[in-house]
Chain A
Amino acid sequence: MMKSLKTFKIGGVHPEENKRSANTPIQILPFPKQAIIPLGQNLGAPSKPLVKRGDEVKTGQLIAGGESFIAANLHSPFTGKVSKIDNFLDSSGYRRPAIVIDVEEVDIWEDGIDTSDTIKREITADRKTIIDTIKSCGIVGLGGATFPTHVKLMVPDGKKAEYLIINGVECEPYLTSDHRLMLEKGEELLIGIQILMKALDVEKAIVGIENNKRDAINHLTELAAGFERIHIQPLKVKYPQGGEKQLIKATVNREVPSGKLPIEVGCVVSNVGTAFAVYEAVQKNKPLIERIVTVTGKAVKKPSNFKVRVGTPVQQLIDAAEGLPENTGKIINGGPMMGKAIMSTEVPVVKGTSGILLMKQEESRRKTALNCIRCSKCTSVCPMGLEPYLLLKLMKLERYEDGMKERIMDCIECGSCQFTCPSNLPLLDYLKLGKQRGGQIIRSRK
Chain B
Amino acid sequence: MNQFTISGSPHVHGEESVSKIMYTVVLALLPAVLVSAYFFGLDAIRVLLIAVISCMFFEWVIQKYIIKGPITITDGSAVVAGMLLAFNVPSNLPWWILVIGALATIGIAKMSFGGLGRNPFNPALVGRVFMLISFPVQMTSWPIAKPLFAEGLTDAITGPTALGLLKEGIGAGKTIDQIISDPAMPNYLDQLTGNMGGSLGEMSAIALILGGLFMIWRKVINWQVPFSIIFTVFVFAGIFHLIDPTMYIEPAFHLFTGGLMLGAIFMATDMVTSPMTISGKWVFGVGIGLITIIIRFWGAYPEGVSFAILIMNAFVPLINNSFKPKRFGVKAVSK
List the interface of chain A (C-beta within 8 A of B). 10, 13, 15-16, 173, 245, 249, 255-260, 328-332, 336-343, 357, 359, 361, 363-367, 370-377, 379, 382-387, 389-390, 405-407, 410, 413, 415, 418-424, 426, 428-429, 432
Contacts and interface: CB of A to CB of B under 8 A. Distances in A.
Given A385-B325, A410-B327, 11 more contacts: A10-B328, A16-B12, A249-B328, A341-B11, A343-B6, A367-B17, A371-B114, A374-B274, A374-B276, A387-B276, A422-B18
Given A372-B117, A374-B271, A258 B16 contact: no
Interface residues of B, number: 41
B271 A373 contact: yes
Q: Is the interface of B mostly helix, strand, loop or mixed?
A: loop
A336 B7 CA distance: 11
Given A245-B329, A376-B277, A367 B13 contact: yes
A410 B325 CA distance: 14
Contact of B13 (A366, A375, A383): A366
Contact of A361 (B3, B6, B16): B3
B152 interface: no
A427 B273 CA distance: 21
Contacts of B8: 341, 426, 428-429, 432
Contact of A332 (B11, B14, B115): B11
B18 A383 contact: no
Contact of A420 (B14, B328, B329, B335): B14
Contact of B326 (A10, A259, A373): A10
A140 to B, nearest CB: 21
B116 interface: yes
A76 to B, nearest CB: 31
A419 B14 contact: yes
A389 B276 contact: yes
A245 B330 CA distance: 13
A373 B117 contact: yes
Contacts of A379: 276-277, 325
A342 B4 CA distance: 9
B334 to A, nearest CB: 11
B207 to A, nearest CB: 25
B4 A329 contact: yes
B183 interface: no
Nearest to A239: B10
A422 B9 contact: no
Contact of B115 (A366, A371, A407, A429): A371
Contact of A370 (B3, B18, B20, B325): B18
Q: 4 tightest CB-CB pairs across the interface, nearest first?
A: A415-B10, A371-B117, A258-B329, A422-B16
A418 B327 contact: no
23 contacts: A10-B325, A245-B329, A258-B327, A260-B329, A330-B4, A330-B11, A341-B9, A364-B5, A366-B7, A375-B21, A376-B277, A379-B277, A383-B328, A385-B328, A385-B330, A387-B324, A405-B335, A419-B14, A420-B14, A420-B16, A422-B17, A422-B21, A423-B18
A385 B9 contact: no
A377 B328 contact: no
Interface in B12-31: 12-14, 16-18, 20-21
Contacts of B116: 370-371, 373
A387 B280 CA distance: 13
B218 interface: no
Nearest to A359: B11
B9 A415 contact: yes
B28 to A, nearest CB: 16
B69 to A, nearest CB: 11
B123 to A, nearest CB: 13
B18 A410 contact: no
Contacts of A367: 13, 17
Interface centre among A256, A387, A405 (most CB of B within 10 A): A387
Contacts of B75: 370
Nearest to B1: A344
Contacts of A382: 325
Contacts of B325: 10, 379, 382, 385-387
B117 to A, nearest CB: 4
B327 A384 contact: yes
Contacts of B117: 370-374, 423
B45 interface: no
B64 interface: no
B180 interface: no
Contacts of B273: 374
A142 to B, nearest CB: 19
A74 to B, nearest CB: 27
A373 B18 contact: yes
Contact of A339 (B5, B9, B17, B276): B9
A249 B328 CA distance: 10
B63 interface: no
B66 to A, nearest CB: 17
A361 B17 CA distance: 21
A390 B280 CA distance: 15
A373 B18 CA distance: 8
Contact of A337 (B9, B18, B72): B9
B174 interface: no
Interface in B87-140: 114-118
Contact of A376 (B115, B271, B329): B271
A375 to B, nearest CB: 4
B272 interface: yes
